[in-house]
Amino acid sequence: MTFNEERGAAIRAGLVATVHPPRLQPVARRRLMGVALLTSGLLIGGAVSAAAVTFARSPVVISGSDMPAPPGVLPGQPIISMLGELTTVTVQGTQTIPLPAAPAGATHVRVSVACLTAGTISWGFDPAGNNPSSGCSASDVRVKQGALDRAGWMDFELVAGQDAFYIGAAENVSGIVAFQFLNYIETDLGVNARGETFGVVRDGRPTPDLQSASGTDDDGAPVLGYVRSVDFDAFGPDWPGQPKNPTEALAWQTERDAKYPDGWDIPLFESDGVTEVGSFHIG
Protein backbone atom coordinates (compact mmCIF):
# COMPACT_ATOMS: atom_id res chain seq x y z
CA MET A 1 0.00 0.00 0.00
CA THR A 2 3.03 2.24 -0.21
CA PHE A 3 3.41 4.92 -2.81
CA ASN A 4 5.19 3.90 -6.00
CA GLU A 5 8.42 5.88 -5.65
CA GLU A 6 8.96 6.44 -9.36
CA ARG A 7 5.41 7.75 -9.75
CA GLY A 8 5.73 9.75 -6.55
CA ALA A 9 8.83 11.49 -7.91
CA ALA A 10 7.03 12.34 -11.15
CA ILE A 11 4.01 13.70 -9.26
CA ARG A 12 6.32 15.69 -6.99
CA ALA A 13 8.13 17.22 -9.97
CA GLY A 14 4.80 18.13 -11.56
CA LEU A 15 3.58 19.79 -8.38
CA VAL A 16 6.81 21.72 -7.86
CA ALA A 17 6.58 23.00 -11.45
CA THR A 18 2.97 24.09 -10.89
CA VAL A 19 3.86 26.57 -8.15
CA HIS A 20 4.33 30.12 -9.41
CA PRO A 21 4.57 33.58 -7.84
CA PRO A 22 1.32 35.49 -7.23
CA ARG A 23 -0.27 37.16 -10.22
CA LEU A 24 -1.67 40.65 -10.30
CA GLN A 25 -5.24 41.06 -9.10
CA PRO A 26 -7.56 43.81 -10.34
CA VAL A 27 -6.60 47.17 -8.93
CA ALA A 28 -9.81 47.30 -6.92
CA ARG A 29 -8.52 44.37 -4.88
CA ARG A 30 -5.00 45.55 -4.21
CA ARG A 31 -5.25 48.97 -2.72
CA LEU A 32 -2.44 48.31 -0.29
CA MET A 33 -0.12 46.74 -2.82
CA GLY A 34 1.88 48.70 -5.28
CA VAL A 35 3.91 48.92 -8.39
CA ALA A 36 7.31 47.28 -7.97
CA LEU A 37 8.90 49.99 -10.05
CA LEU A 38 7.80 52.62 -7.61
CA THR A 39 8.91 50.68 -4.58
CA SER A 40 12.41 50.38 -5.94
CA GLY A 41 12.39 54.06 -6.81
CA LEU A 42 11.33 54.81 -3.27
CA LEU A 43 14.29 52.91 -1.86
CA ILE A 44 16.67 54.97 -3.93
CA GLY A 45 14.83 58.00 -2.62
CA GLY A 46 15.39 60.11 -5.70
CA ALA A 47 12.90 62.11 -7.72
CA VAL A 48 12.28 59.23 -10.11
CA SER A 49 9.35 59.35 -12.50
CA ALA A 50 6.88 56.57 -11.83
CA ALA A 51 6.29 56.18 -15.50
CA ALA A 52 10.00 55.66 -15.98
CA VAL A 53 9.38 53.03 -18.63
CA THR A 54 7.78 55.49 -20.99
CA PHE A 55 9.12 58.78 -19.71
CA ALA A 56 12.76 57.99 -19.01
CA ARG A 57 13.84 60.46 -21.69
CA SER A 58 10.97 62.93 -21.62
CA PRO A 59 10.09 64.24 -18.15
CA VAL A 60 6.46 64.24 -17.07
CA VAL A 61 4.83 67.64 -17.34
CA ILE A 62 3.09 68.31 -14.05
CA SER A 63 -0.20 69.81 -15.10
CA GLY A 64 -2.70 68.93 -12.37
CA SER A 65 -5.43 68.15 -14.87
CA ASP A 66 -6.44 64.79 -16.35
CA MET A 67 -4.90 63.64 -19.61
CA PRO A 68 -5.36 60.71 -21.98
CA ALA A 69 -3.27 57.72 -20.94
CA PRO A 70 0.02 57.74 -22.90
CA PRO A 71 1.39 54.48 -24.36
CA GLY A 72 2.47 52.07 -21.63
CA VAL A 73 -0.01 53.45 -19.09
CA LEU A 74 -3.36 51.73 -18.60
CA PRO A 75 -6.30 54.10 -19.06
CA GLY A 76 -7.34 55.44 -15.67
CA GLN A 77 -3.98 54.62 -14.10
CA PRO A 78 -2.40 57.74 -12.61
CA ILE A 79 1.07 58.86 -13.67
CA ILE A 80 3.01 59.23 -10.47
CA SER A 81 6.20 61.21 -10.00
CA MET A 82 8.24 61.21 -6.83
CA LEU A 83 9.08 64.60 -5.46
CA GLY A 84 11.87 65.50 -3.03
CA GLU A 85 13.74 63.12 -0.78
CA LEU A 86 12.59 60.11 1.20
CA THR A 87 12.17 60.91 4.90
CA THR A 88 12.38 58.06 7.41
CA VAL A 89 11.41 58.09 11.08
CA THR A 90 11.94 55.31 13.61
CA VAL A 91 8.87 54.86 15.82
CA GLN A 92 8.12 52.89 18.96
CA GLY A 93 4.72 52.54 20.59
CA THR A 94 1.88 54.99 20.03
CA GLN A 95 3.00 58.43 18.91
CA THR A 96 2.21 61.36 16.63
CA ILE A 97 4.72 62.39 13.96
CA PRO A 98 4.68 65.80 12.26
CA LEU A 99 4.30 65.27 8.51
CA PRO A 100 7.46 66.53 6.73
CA ALA A 101 6.95 69.71 4.65
CA ALA A 102 5.50 68.84 1.23
CA PRO A 103 7.39 70.06 -1.85
CA ALA A 104 5.56 72.18 -4.42
CA GLY A 105 3.37 70.13 -6.73
CA ALA A 106 2.87 67.26 -4.27
CA THR A 107 -0.65 65.79 -4.35
CA HIS A 108 -0.07 62.61 -2.32
CA VAL A 109 2.31 61.13 0.21
CA ARG A 110 3.34 57.51 0.08
CA VAL A 111 3.83 56.11 3.54
CA SER A 112 5.69 52.80 4.00
CA VAL A 113 5.99 51.07 7.33
CA ALA A 114 8.62 48.38 7.91
CA CYS A 115 8.77 46.47 11.15
CA LEU A 116 11.78 46.33 13.44
CA THR A 117 10.12 44.00 15.95
CA ALA A 118 7.24 41.52 15.80
CA GLY A 119 3.84 43.13 16.31
CA THR A 120 1.25 45.31 14.59
CA ILE A 121 1.52 49.02 13.86
CA SER A 122 -1.43 51.13 12.75
CA TRP A 123 -0.63 54.25 10.77
CA GLY A 124 -2.58 57.07 9.15
CA PHE A 125 -4.07 60.54 9.42
CA ASP A 126 -7.07 59.65 11.60
CA PRO A 127 -6.36 60.73 15.20
CA ALA A 128 -9.11 58.31 16.32
CA GLY A 129 -6.95 55.46 15.04
CA ASN A 130 -9.19 54.27 12.20
CA ASN A 131 -6.11 53.71 10.08
CA PRO A 132 -4.47 50.97 8.02
CA SER A 133 -2.12 48.67 9.85
CA SER A 134 0.74 46.36 9.03
CA GLY A 135 2.94 44.11 11.02
CA CYS A 136 5.27 41.19 11.27
CA SER A 137 5.01 37.85 12.97
CA ALA A 138 8.03 36.61 14.88
CA SER A 139 9.11 34.59 11.84
CA ASP A 140 8.49 37.52 9.41
CA VAL A 141 10.87 39.73 11.35
CA ARG A 142 13.88 37.69 10.25
CA VAL A 143 13.36 38.57 6.59
CA LYS A 144 11.39 41.79 6.80
CA GLN A 145 13.14 43.65 9.61
CA GLY A 146 13.70 47.22 8.46
CA ALA A 147 13.14 46.21 4.82
CA LEU A 148 11.15 49.00 3.21
CA ASP A 149 10.90 47.08 -0.05
CA ARG A 150 8.92 44.41 1.79
CA ALA A 151 6.91 46.87 3.85
CA GLY A 152 3.21 47.67 3.74
CA TRP A 153 2.56 51.00 2.07
CA MET A 154 -0.25 53.27 1.00
CA ASP A 155 -0.66 56.56 -0.86
CA PHE A 156 -2.64 59.22 1.01
CA GLU A 157 -4.09 62.21 -0.79
CA LEU A 158 -2.78 65.41 0.80
CA VAL A 159 -5.40 67.51 2.57
CA ALA A 160 -4.66 71.11 3.61
CA GLY A 161 -4.14 71.41 7.36
CA GLN A 162 -3.60 67.67 7.83
CA ASP A 163 -0.04 67.72 9.08
CA ALA A 164 0.07 65.15 11.88
CA PHE A 165 0.56 61.43 11.27
CA TYR A 166 -0.64 58.97 13.88
CA ILE A 167 1.14 55.76 14.84
CA GLY A 168 -0.52 53.17 17.07
CA ALA A 169 1.43 50.24 18.50
CA ALA A 170 2.15 48.38 21.70
CA GLU A 171 4.97 49.90 23.77
CA ASN A 172 7.53 47.29 22.79
CA VAL A 173 6.68 47.38 19.06
CA SER A 174 8.87 49.47 16.80
CA GLY A 175 9.22 50.15 13.09
CA ILE A 176 10.47 52.49 10.40
CA VAL A 177 8.01 54.90 8.79
CA ALA A 178 9.06 56.37 5.42
CA PHE A 179 7.39 59.36 3.74
CA GLN A 180 7.73 60.00 0.01
CA PHE A 181 5.84 62.89 -1.56
CA LEU A 182 4.30 62.28 -4.96
CA ASN A 183 2.56 64.06 -7.77
CA TYR A 184 -0.39 62.22 -9.28
CA ILE A 185 -1.66 63.06 -12.74
CA GLU A 186 -4.89 61.23 -13.42
CA THR A 187 -5.47 59.73 -16.85
CA ASP A 188 -8.80 59.32 -18.62
CA LEU A 189 -10.53 55.98 -19.07
CA GLY A 190 -10.53 54.58 -22.61
CA VAL A 191 -13.73 54.16 -24.63
CA ASN A 192 -14.10 51.23 -27.06
CA ALA A 193 -16.08 51.00 -30.30
CA ARG A 194 -19.13 49.79 -28.37
CA GLY A 195 -19.07 52.90 -26.22
CA GLU A 196 -17.92 51.02 -23.11
CA THR A 197 -15.31 52.60 -20.86
CA PHE A 198 -12.25 50.54 -19.97
CA GLY A 199 -9.33 50.98 -17.63
CA VAL A 200 -8.16 50.78 -14.05
CA VAL A 201 -10.52 50.97 -11.07
CA ARG A 202 -9.60 53.65 -8.55
CA ASP A 203 -11.21 55.01 -5.41
CA GLY A 204 -13.14 58.20 -5.96
CA ARG A 205 -13.08 57.84 -9.75
CA PRO A 206 -15.82 56.50 -12.07
CA THR A 207 -15.77 52.69 -12.42
CA PRO A 208 -15.10 51.62 -16.02
CA ASP A 209 -17.45 49.15 -17.73
CA LEU A 210 -14.41 46.95 -18.35
CA GLN A 211 -11.80 46.86 -15.62
CA SER A 212 -8.17 45.91 -15.99
CA ALA A 213 -7.32 42.47 -14.61
CA SER A 214 -4.70 39.78 -14.88
CA GLY A 215 -6.18 36.34 -15.52
CA THR A 216 -5.09 33.15 -17.21
CA ASP A 217 -5.38 32.02 -20.82
CA ASP A 218 -6.55 28.58 -21.92
CA ASP A 219 -3.10 27.12 -21.21
CA GLY A 220 -3.03 28.55 -17.69
CA ALA A 221 -0.47 31.24 -18.54
CA PRO A 222 -0.98 34.72 -17.04
CA VAL A 223 -2.62 37.19 -19.42
CA LEU A 224 -3.63 40.83 -19.02
CA GLY A 225 -7.07 41.92 -20.11
CA TYR A 226 -10.33 43.36 -18.90
CA VAL A 227 -13.23 41.87 -16.99
CA ARG A 228 -16.73 43.27 -17.24
CA SER A 229 -17.49 45.21 -14.05
CA VAL A 230 -20.99 43.69 -13.87
CA ASP A 231 -19.40 40.20 -13.88
CA PHE A 232 -16.77 41.18 -11.33
CA ASP A 233 -19.21 42.87 -8.96
CA ALA A 234 -21.91 40.18 -9.19
CA PHE A 235 -22.51 38.21 -6.02
CA GLY A 236 -22.07 35.04 -8.07
CA PRO A 237 -22.70 33.59 -11.52
CA ASP A 238 -26.40 33.13 -10.76
CA TRP A 239 -26.82 36.40 -8.87
CA PRO A 240 -26.21 39.42 -11.09
CA GLY A 241 -26.63 42.00 -8.33
CA GLN A 242 -25.94 42.23 -4.62
CA PRO A 243 -28.23 41.05 -1.80
CA LYS A 244 -30.63 43.66 -0.43
CA ASN A 245 -30.41 42.74 3.23
CA PRO A 246 -28.39 40.52 5.60
CA THR A 247 -30.96 37.70 5.51
CA GLU A 248 -30.82 37.57 1.74
CA ALA A 249 -27.02 37.80 1.87
CA LEU A 250 -26.82 34.79 4.18
CA ALA A 251 -29.22 32.76 2.07
CA TRP A 252 -27.38 33.59 -1.16
CA GLN A 253 -24.04 32.90 0.43
CA THR A 254 -25.08 29.48 1.67
CA GLU A 255 -26.42 28.58 -1.75
CA ARG A 256 -23.37 30.00 -3.53
CA ASP A 257 -20.86 28.23 -1.26
CA ALA A 258 -22.63 24.93 -1.87
CA LYS A 259 -22.86 25.42 -5.62
CA TYR A 260 -19.45 27.02 -6.23
CA PRO A 261 -17.21 25.87 -3.35
CA ASP A 262 -14.07 26.68 -5.37
CA GLY A 263 -15.27 29.99 -6.78
CA TRP A 264 -16.04 30.64 -10.44
CA ASP A 265 -14.47 32.06 -13.58
CA ILE A 266 -15.52 35.17 -15.48
CA PRO A 267 -14.37 35.96 -19.03
CA LEU A 268 -11.36 38.18 -19.67
CA PHE A 269 -11.55 40.34 -22.80
CA GLU A 270 -9.45 42.68 -24.90
CA SER A 271 -10.42 46.32 -24.39
CA ASP A 272 -12.98 45.86 -27.20
CA GLY A 273 -15.13 43.90 -24.76
CA VAL A 274 -15.69 41.21 -27.39
CA THR A 275 -12.45 39.29 -28.01
CA GLU A 276 -12.05 36.78 -25.19
CA VAL A 277 -8.42 36.25 -24.14
CA GLY A 278 -8.81 34.13 -21.03
CA SER A 279 -10.62 33.99 -17.73
CA PHE A 280 -10.38 35.49 -14.28
CA HIS A 281 -11.04 33.40 -11.20
CA ILE A 282 -13.18 34.76 -8.39
CA GLY A 283 -13.42 33.13 -4.99
Partner 1 sequence: MDALEPPDAQLWPRVLEGDGRAFGVLFDRHRDRVHSHIRRLVHDSGEAEDLTAAAFLELWRRRHSARVVDESLLPWLLVTAGNVVSNANRARRRYRRFLAALPSPAVQPDHADHVAARLDLEPRVRQLLAAIADLPLADQRLIVLTALEGLTLQQASEVTGISYGAAKTRLSRARSRLGSVLANELGVTS
Alpha helices in 19-94 (DSSP H): 36-44, 52-55
Nearer to partner 1, 7 or 57 (CB): 7
DSSP structural state of residue 260: -
Shortest distance (Å) from residue 259 CB to partner 1: 14
CA pair distance 84, 162, nearest whole angstrom: 19
> Least distance (Å) from partner 1 to the CB of residue 250?
15
CB nearer to partner 1: pick between 50 and 115? 115
Shortest approach of partner 1 to residue 25 CB, angstroms?
11
**Residue 1: which H helix or E strand, with range?**
none
Q: CB 12 → partner 1: shortest distance, Å? A: 5
Partners of 228 in beta bridges:
210
Find the radius of gyration of the CA atoms of the chain.
22
**Burial environment of residue 211 by CB neighbours within 10 A (0 to 12, 13 to 18, 19 or more):** buried
Nearest CA to 96 out of 125, 56, 135 is that of: 125
**Least gap, CB of 233 to partner 1 (angstroms):** 19
Q: Which residues bind partner 1 (CB under 8 A)?
A: 1-4, 7-8, 11-12, 14-22, 139, 262
Q: Which of 282, 277, 236, 232 is nearest to 262 (CA)?
A: 282
Whether 33 and 24 have beta carbons less than 8 Å apart is answered as: no
In the bound state with partner 1, the residue whose beta carbon lies nearer, of 139 and 247, is 139
Which residue number, 143 or 193, has a Cβ lying nearer to partner 1?
Answer: 143
Contact 216, 222 (CB under 8 A): yes
Is the CB of 103 or the CB of 236 nearer to partner 1?
A: 236
CB 24 within 8 A of CB 56: no
Instruction: Report the nearest approach of partner 1 to the CB of residue 8 (Å).
Output: 6
20/57 with CB nearer partner 1: 20
Report the nearest approach of partner 1 to the CB of residue 11 (Å).
4
Nearer to partner 1 (CB atom), residue 104 or residue 143: 143
SS3 per residue for 107-168? CEEEEEEEECCCEEEEEECCCCCCCCEEEECHHHHHHHCCCHHHCEEEEEECCCCCCEEEEE
